[in-house]
Copies of this chain bind each other. A is one copy, B any other.
Amino acid sequence: MTSEVQQLLTTGVALTDETLERLLPAPTVEPHSIHRAMRHSMFAGGKRLRPILCMEAARMVAGTGTLPQGAVELGCSIEMVHTYSLIHDDLPALDNDDLRRGKPTCHVAFGEAIAILAGDALQTLAFQTISQLPAPGATLVEIIREFSFAIGTGVGPVPGSDLPGDLPPGMIGGQVMDIESEGVKPTAELVERIHRAKTGALITTSIVCGGLLGLGHCLASGHKLACTEEDAIARLRTFGESAGLAFQIVDDILDVTQSSEQLGKTAGKDTASDKATWPAVYGLERARKDAASLIADAFAALEPFGKSATPLKSLAQYLVDRTH
């Protein structure tokens, strides 16, 4: 890892953590149990990759070099949804995991009822936080629309909307497909579909939402965009989709090649339950090649942004080079 990426990650984690500390209800606020449960999972040592990608996308599009106002809070909203999805995914009825990042999962620490409600409340708090960002109403509505499509079952918009009608499945859609694929021999097509939805959709929307927030600041500051607004968002989406899929492929590879201690969770679990993974379909060597080729696609998408794209590109490179 280069010292530049190390710097980005360290600063990003600190910014995210101190902002979450402010956004999350204090553990002394009634009812205590749910606020303690929400904090338990939010501060369990996450890498904060999604908020950092969101912030850097916002910074790149804003074009002033500094983080646009509200970018950290927007990143925190995305991390809240990521955490809610992990809390629910770990429940006995779903993956039944006792450990997450080396700590007891939410339902182990607080019981199933509070864990279910803590996940629910984190989703609500994410939308609440976005609705309070310092940005024009039209920008916030666009972010909420983009975000909600990415984290739902991912079906096309209602008639009369100006969004494309044939959207890929969202995060929850991916979780359902993942559950239903267990015990079924995974096909290449299914694995890609699940990966793009279950982890890819949230990573992509982190970057796109950051870009949407950055756009407002770019226009307000009179900074000249490297391309049209529409093209900027489309390029960020391609970058996110490619980097997101690469990230999940590397996750699959690490699950096969690393020990539980290195990962902080039960390794080899995916193989054991015949889960849909990239190495299971293509083998390890091809999986490594595919991850590298996706990162090349991601880099190409950001070409018009020149040097200002360096932080996002370094982060994408880190996603495939990481060892845990």
Contacts and interface: CB of A to CB of B under 8 A. Distances in A.
A113 B138 contact: no
Given A31-B180, A157-B132, A161-B132, A124 B148 contact: yes
Main secondary structure of the interface of A (DSSP, over half): helix
Interface of A: 22-23, 25, 29-31, 33-35, 38, 73, 84, 88, 91, 93-94, 111-114, 116-117, 119-121, 123-125, 127-132, 134, 136-141, 144-145, 148-149, 151-153, 155, 157-161, 169-170, 172-173, 175-177, 179-180
29 contacts: A22-B158, A25-B153, A29-B153, A30-B169, A30-B177, A31-B153, A31-B180, A34-B173, A88-B116, A88-B117, A93-B111, A93-B113, A94-B116, A117-B175, A120-B172, A121-B172, A123-B123, A124-B151, A128-B144, A128-B149, A130-B144, A131-B141, A131-B145, A131-B148, A132-B145, A134-B160, A137-B140, A141-B141, A144-B144
B127 A177 contact: no
Contacts of A137: 136-141
Nearest to A146: B131
Contacts of A23: 158
Contacts of A161: 132
B131 A144 contact: yes
Contacts of A136: 137
B152 A121 contact: yes
A179 B151 CA distance: 28
Nearest to A144: B131
| This chain: copies in complex | 2
Given A25-B155, A124-B123, A158-B22, A34 B176 contact: yes
B140 A177 contact: no
A35 B172 CA distance: 11
A85 to B, nearest CB: 8
Contacts of A159: 22
Contacts of A149: 128
Top 3 nearest A-B pairs (CB, nearest first) are A137-B137, A93-B112, A128-B148
Given A25-B155, A117-B175, A131-B141, 10 more contacts: A25-B153, A31-B169, A34-B172, A35-B155, A94-B116, A117-B176, A123-B123, A130-B144, A132-B158, A132-B161
A136 B129 CA distance: 19
